[in-house]
Structure 1
Amino acid sequence: MQELKIKIGKMTCVNCANSIEKISKKIEGVKDASISYVNSSGVFLLEDDKVKSDLFKKIKNLGYEILDEGQDLEKYKLKQFSKMKLNLFLSVILSTLIMYFEMFVKNSFSKDMQLLFSIFAIFYCGRSFFINAIKGLKYKNLDMNTLVALGSFMAFVYSLLVYFKVFEKDEHLYFSGASMIISFVLFGKLLEEYAKFKAQDYQKKINNLNTKKANILVNNEFKEIPSSFVKVNDILIVKEGESIVADGIVIEGKAELDTSFLTGEFLPVLKQKDSEVSAGSIVLNGFLKIKVSKKSMDSTLEQIKDLIFKAGNIKTPITTLVDKISAYFVGFIIIIASIVFIFWSLKSGFNEAFLYACAVILISCPCALGLATPIAIVVALASAAKRSILVKNPSALENLNQIKEVIFDKTGTLTQNELKIYKHNLSEENFKFLAQIESFSSHPIAKAIFKDLNLDFHSLKGEVKMYIGKGLEYKEQGVTYLAGNENFLKEKGIDTSKTKEFFKKFLDKAPVHVYFSKDKECLGGVCLSNALKQEVKDLILSLKQRKIHSVILSGDNEKSVRQIAKELNIDEFYANLKPHEKLNFIQERQKKNSIIFVGDGINDAPSLNLANVGISFAKANDLAKESGDFILIKDDLRLIDLCFKISYKTRSIIKLNLFWAFFYNTLCIPIAAGFVPFITLNPHLAALAMCFSSIAVVLNSLRLKNLALQEAKL
């Protein structure tokens, strides 16, 4: 068995992804398939490499495109979007010209121009509808393309027969109605693509995370090579500020590493001889000589990349209401039109039968259906943007309605991104001096102490020595000062018991401690906290009122996570988790509930992708922002509550749009079919009625315009 991951172009809706998945699974040798419309990608489980050519051929036969590995998906989407805009522009211009000739120029030249312009408007501007409809029929996959193509084609054919005087009693041409169908549906598709264009390829940022070059030791000499060529047992040399490009074991040196991409913990981790290190970690200070245990392509960083791709392709149980109904609606309308044609053929002849059947198709053309969802979503996106919410994946607006559980990362999500001083027992003079000494260090703890006093950069002239993972030593005029953890001072023979007793009082609130001594005397210390964000409690309370369960998943230590959970009155929490463990947890929970994951780190990216809805922050890691469905531009968690409000209102508007579209059809189809006494609705009026239906949907959607400003008071 082998896994194949590919990019797929020309998918225009969820039905496209479903169609590819359905057909692919029928190919001999394809054991499983998962297609993501939003991610423009597919993952296939193949028996062997020979099946690949058959798979590619089948996908291309369906009308889709297999993109090369090096092809930029974003550029491809921009190119397709530009083509759609050009088609819409030409269609509107041509439709306007046809209507002008139809209404104001009454001669044979007018009819010639209407025919000529409609050929281009229908079969050039709307060619994608016809191509997809024909291929859909070939594989028994009826969708909205079928009705669009059928409705416009019937109107064109009928008008063509009138043009050639086959129907002598009717002199009215419906070329304008046929071309306007194409214009309306193209407009709806353009709005939908515009709304979804923000959802970019998830792999774009993560591919830039790894260092492009690596320094390896060969015959006692440094050699720079591309990181992708690093092999098992190579010796890596990594200095301050550099990234580790492969997993391995430290054989020499000592350094503090930023491993937040993996654990979510923002405090540096000390690594020394025999310690395991992971690719993607950044050396903050020190030096490491590492023996590679996995080649670069098998590293933890590459595994996270793979998790992100797969998470983006895992199917959720939710499908859009429009797609579900459309599959039945199209077949139903074709059957109704056929019955109408047969009925009137037997009763009044071919002329009237064709007229009524064409009217049924036109009145049922899914312009309103096509606009119902994208128009409402585009307006909702604008409303959200006014309140600092960027909606990257529009389908997430609907998914929010199903949410039963919200899972939070802790560090940087529920808590502040930096440490703050909670208490200290130093004199004012000693505290100021400690802050000046700490200004020599770039360590997060040192930065927090120095920042608290708003001092200028250090003006001290003594000697400073850093002890990685312990603290620092400062000497001036024969006096030695130490600032660091308890073990560091004990190694120097200093009694820290009194200061330790002081720290015990605040252990739950402030678990990070710094001791400060002068010569052999401990002067006291500073305890620091990673405080909760101010608005977190309001959000948790709001979620409880909505009967939504809250959970904390964190890579941080259990004591810290337990304290945060206690403050927020959250009963369920888990600590010391790695990215794949978070992912497994979410997969298990999704079997029972739809969930939201809220996070901000690289390690959260797979979970943000897999969850039914992922929420991140504008100041979060780039990869987390790419992976989230919602991006909170302001660092205010109460915006999550506003996301729910916008979602509920949007869903209500979409439901009303769909109800109107189907109610309109239900009301008008009998009239168009000629079954209502004393009322006749010919194709021309049917096309006009279809336009009114679309306008009603747009006006209803515009009620979302000021929703965010009306309901949010943040």
Structure 2
Amino acid sequence: MQELRLKIGKMTCTNCSNAIERVCKKIDGVSDVSVSYVNSSGIFLVENLKLKDKISQKIKELGFEILEEENLEIDEKKRVLKLKINLFLSIVLSLVIMYFEMFVKSENSKSLQMFLAFFAIFYCGRGFFYHALAGLRYKNLDMNTLVSLGALSSFVYSVFVYFGFFAREEHLYFSGGAMIISFVLLGKFLEERIQFKALKYQRKLEKIDTKKVKILDKDGNIKESSSAFVKAGDILLLDEGENVSVDGVILEGKAELDLSFLNGEFLPILKQAGDEILAGSFIISGNLKIKASKKAMDSTLEQLKDLVFKAGSIKTPLSNLANKISAYFVAMIIILACCVFIFWSIKENLSIAFLHSCAVLLISCPCALGLATPIVLTRAFEKAAKNFILIQNPAALENLSQIQCVVFDKTGTLTENNLSVFKHNLAQKDFEKLAHIESFSPHPIAQAIFKASHLEKKPLQAEIQTLVGKGLIYKEQEDIFLVGNEEFLKENEIPFESVKEFLNQYENEAPIQVYFAKNQKCLGGVALSNALKNGAKELIQNLKKENIQSIILSGDNLKSVQKTALELGIDEFYASLKPEEKFEFIRAKEKEEKVLFVGDGINDAIAMNLASASMSFAQASELAKKTGDFILIREDLSAIVMCFELSKRIKTLIKFNLFWAFIYNICCIPIAAGILPFIVLSPHIAALAMCFSSLAVVLNSLRKI
């Protein structure tokens, strides 16, 4: 399956995006669709990208349009301008119609009212009718259907009265029909303006220009290239006034950087040789030579763009509930409006029946339900990104608020990745051989040993096999080398007692132990030490305050894990675990309570995938990063506390939005139907009340997160 992304224009509410989803899912070769009204975007999981034309055609048939990325902002401005013009015209026409209705009583006045109302309803409100008719073709009922029916019924009813079809009725509702369009357009205009504010961060990311780079080749020549072709290891030259196009490490130079795209801070940050640098950073002053640590397309900036693009499209459990209700809501309202009309036409007269049935149609728009989640999630992504957190799975934000237990890996998670060699009893030649073998492993232990050797990285001459959670086997000609933990040597029946005795002397200061063997003989061992990560103690204390249990699951030896657990005050810990043992532990734990797994290694990936929520780090293995629901860009564990706080906050906002939308409709629909004899809602007042419901949800979503 491949992912197709499209920018979609002319969507007026979340029901429009739901309509596109329902229609496009029926296309052969399309397995899944997620469309966001908030982001004006759609993500389609397709068998072949050639389906783009077919999908685009279906979207156009529904009354929407496909936009080019570079024209998106221009289209947004045109749409708002068009909306403003239609709104202005409809308000002016509504006021003129009202004037003639109230103060000029004549046949000419009625004729003029009908003519102006026709223009106000069918020209200024043409978008509602166009989308309603296109939706009916695919059996899709939405807000446009209700607004169109309400405005059309008021106009048709008034025309019948004008031509004398209803002998006893004299009151015309031409002004009411025009005002329906005016009030709905007013609500849409305000909604669009607020929505643009919510998407300010996304547009800021999209404007960062990182398309061109200067690459320094091996011969010292400088060539200009597209950033899309930058790969790990390339040397880039950056000047004042340029945006950094790739994540990397500064080799030479010093510069002040603007990182506001990520952290929201306007004050520049000084970076110099040895510091890491992120794509999207803007060089305010200075010049830099950097070494790319990954492809430009894999940079933090591109991940941010990707995740923010998806923010409003990905459905969470709460938004799925709202969408299921909205799917049947409009049909139920139309049936209810018909019942109300029949009831009041029998009980009173056609005029009263029209008032109540039209009010029911207009007051019960499902837009508020659809808007309850996407804007909140979009803002949550912005808040998280500014705190150096990437949210890969929005649904995990809801799960996080229910977490009762946090399970941690140890090395690289609770303790620093940058281990250091404390002691070893290997001959220099053997230590260098060990370092050479370890040089191609991304594991923190391997990297620490290689770093301590001060050797240059050279290609290995023979076969190497990695055994996750144990070590590795390296075969070179007739020699077989084993690097790993105590259990690994036991499995291979290699005696190591004397080496263990040496390493145990330093177990308090350096509890991490690595053994090196050649041809069934243990050559020696290495003792490594590492410190706790920044914020680890504070994190465990915060979790205890929230009555959340902390557990360590580690593949390291018992003494190393025990030392870390004692330092942090964690009572439950397990050592020397294999990946499958971590998996079984999480599976059993998940039966009792919701679990968050925090890890960074390949051996953590299967356990992370099983947990209710998972977190990893920007420096973690690629598999762990792909599996993690949250990626922490900084190695600061206090960000986990921030994730918990963000989860509670956005869940509160979403629940409030849904509660408001449900309660509003539950209370207002009976009033519109005439259940209270002393309150009669005219259609245009009902339309205004409907707009108020959606605006209240949008404004609540923009509260500080």
* SS state at 1:8 partner: strand
The answer to whether structure 1 residue 215 and structure 2 residue 224 are counterparts is no
The question of whether the paired residues in 2 share the 8 Å contact of 1:36 and 1:42 is answered with yes
The question of whether the paired residues in 2 share the 8 Å contact of 1:397 and 1:647 is answered with no
Distance 1:143 1:639 in 2: 38
Are residues 326 and 506 of structure 1, via their aligned partners in 2, closer, same or farther at CA, if it must alter by over 3 Å?
Answer: same
* SS state at 1:66 partner: strand
Distance 2:21 2:290 in 1: 50
* SS state at 2:124 partner: coil
Distance 1:577 1:157 in 2: 68
Shift of 1:57: 1.1
The question of whether the paired residues in 2 share the 8 Å contact of 1:376 and 1:653 is answered with no
The question of whether the paired residues in 2 share the 8 Å contact of 1:375 and 1:698 is answered with no
Distance 1:398 1:90 in 2: 46
Q: For residue 163 of structure 1, what is the aligned residue in structure 2?
A: 162
Distance 2:605 2:7 in 1: 23
Q: Which runs of 5+ in 1 are unaligned?
A: 249-253, 272-277, 417-466, 471-502, 509-526, 622-634, 709-714
Q: For residue 202 of structure 2, what is the aligned residue in structure 1?
A: 200
The answer to whether structure 1 residue 658 and structure 2 residue 677 are counterparts is no
The 5 Å alignment of 1:15-26 reads 15-26=15-26
- Which one of 384, 402, 405 corresponds to residue 404 of structure 1? 402
The question of whether the paired residues in 2 share the 8 Å contact of 1:25 and 1:32 is answered with yes
Are residues 373 and 134 of structure 1, via their aligned partners in 2, closer, same or farther at CA, if it must alter by over 3 Å?
Answer: closer
Q: Which runs of 5+ in 2 are unaligned?
A: 260-270, 417-450, 455-505, 512-529, 574-595
Q: For residue 365 of structure 1, what is the aligned residue in structure 2?
A: 362
* SS state at 2:167 partner: coil
Distance 1:561 1:81 in 2: 62
The 5 Å alignment of 1:468-483 reads none
Q: For residue 325 of structure 2, what is the aligned residue in structure 1?
A: 325
Shift of 1:136: 1.0
C-alpha RMSD of the superposition: 6.8
Distance 1:655 1:77 in 2: 27
The question of whether the paired residues in 2 share the 8 Å contact of 1:337 and 1:357 is answered with no
Shift of 1:142: 0.9
Distance 2:177 2:552 in 1: 54
Q: For residue 338 of structure 1, what is the aligned residue in structure 2?
A: 338
Distance 1:110 1:329 in 2: 39
Shift of 1:163: 3.0
Distance 2:143 2:87 in 1: 18
The 5 Å alignment of 1:622-633 reads none
Q: For residue 136 of structure 1, what is the aligned residue in structure 2?
A: 135
Distance 1:246 1:691 in 2: 49
Shift of 1:411: 13
Aligned residues: 550
The 5 Å alignment of 1:466-615 reads 531-532=534-535, 536=539, 539-541=542-544, 544-545=546-547, 563=564, 567=568, 569=570, 574-577=598-601, 588-589=609-610, 593=612, 595=613
Shift of 1:328: 2.0
Shift of 1:141: 0.9
Distance 2:78 2:44 in 1: 27
Identical-residue share of aligned pairs (%) = 33
In structure 2, what residue type is equivalent to 1:657? W
In structure 2, what residue type is equivalent to 1:35? V
* SS state at 1:365 partner: helix
Distance 1:109 1:121 in 2: 18
Shift of 1:45: 4.4
The 5 Å alignment of 1:216-235 reads 216-217=217-218, 222-227=221-226
Q: For residue 584 of structure 2, what is the aligned residue in structure 1?
A: none
The question of whether the paired residues in 2 share the 8 Å contact of 1:5 and 1:42 is answered with yes
Deviations 1:150-177 (A, max 9, x none): 1111112212222333333222122333
Distance 2:367 2:701 in 1: 18
Are residues 172 and 596 of structure 1, via their aligned partners in 2, closer, same or farther at CA, if it must alter by over 3 Å?
Answer: farther
Q: For residue 30 of structure 1, what is the aligned residue in structure 2?
A: 30
Deviations 1:250-269 (A, max 9, x none): xxxx96999xx9xxxx9998
Are residues 657 and 689 of structure 1, via their aligned partners in 2, closer, same or farther at CA, if it must alter by over 3 Å?
Answer: same
Q: For residue 80 of structure 1, what is the aligned residue in structure 2?
A: 79
Distance 2:605 2:204 in 1: 16
* SS state at 1:171 partner: coil
Distance 1:469 1:78 in 2: 60
Deviations 1:228-274 (A, max 9, x none): 58599x996557999998999xxxxx96999xx9xxxx999899xxx
Q: For residue 7 of structure 1, what is the aligned residue in structure 2?
A: 7
* SS state at 2:216 partner: strand
Shift of 1:334: 1.7
The question of whether the paired residues in 1 share the 8 Å contact of 2:247 and 2:296 is answered with no
Deviations 1:420-445 (A, max 9, x none): xxxxxxxxxxxxxxxxxxxxxxxxxx
Distance 2:279 2:364 in 1: 51
Are residues 688 and 298 of structure 1, via their aligned partners in 2, closer, same or farther at CA, if it must alter by over 3 Å?
Answer: closer
Deviations 1:107-163 (A, max 9, x none): 456545543443343333332222211111110111122111111111122122223
With normalisation by structure 2, the TM-score equals: 0.56
Distance 2:627 2:203 in 1: 14
The question of whether the paired residues in 2 share the 8 Å contact of 1:98 and 1:176 is answered with yes
With normalisation by structure 1, the TM-score equals: 0.56
In structure 1, what residue type is equivalent to 2:402? K
In structure 2, what residue type is equivalent to 1:404? Q
Are residues 178 and 66 of structure 1, via their aligned partners in 2, closer, same or farther at CA, if it must alter by over 3 Å?
Answer: same
Are residues 671 and 577 of structure 1, via their aligned partners in 2, closer, same or farther at CA, if it must alter by over 3 Å?
Answer: same
Are residues 654 and 203 of structure 1, via their aligned partners in 2, closer, same or farther at CA, if it must alter by over 3 Å?
Answer: closer
Distance 2:378 2:289 in 1: 47
Distance 2:542 2:552 in 1: 13
* SS state at 1:212 partner: strand
Are residues 344 and 316 of structure 1, via their aligned partners in 2, closer, same or farther at CA, if it must alter by over 3 Å?
Answer: closer
Distance 1:367 1:134 in 2: 19
The question of whether the paired residues in 2 share the 8 Å contact of 1:410 and 1:561 is answered with no
Q: For residue 62 of structure 1, what is the aligned residue in structure 2?
A: 62
Distance 1:165 1:314 in 2: 53
Distance 2:92 2:550 in 1: 53
Distance 1:285 1:22 in 2: 50
Shift of 1:332: 1.5
In structure 1, what residue type is equivalent to 2:660? N
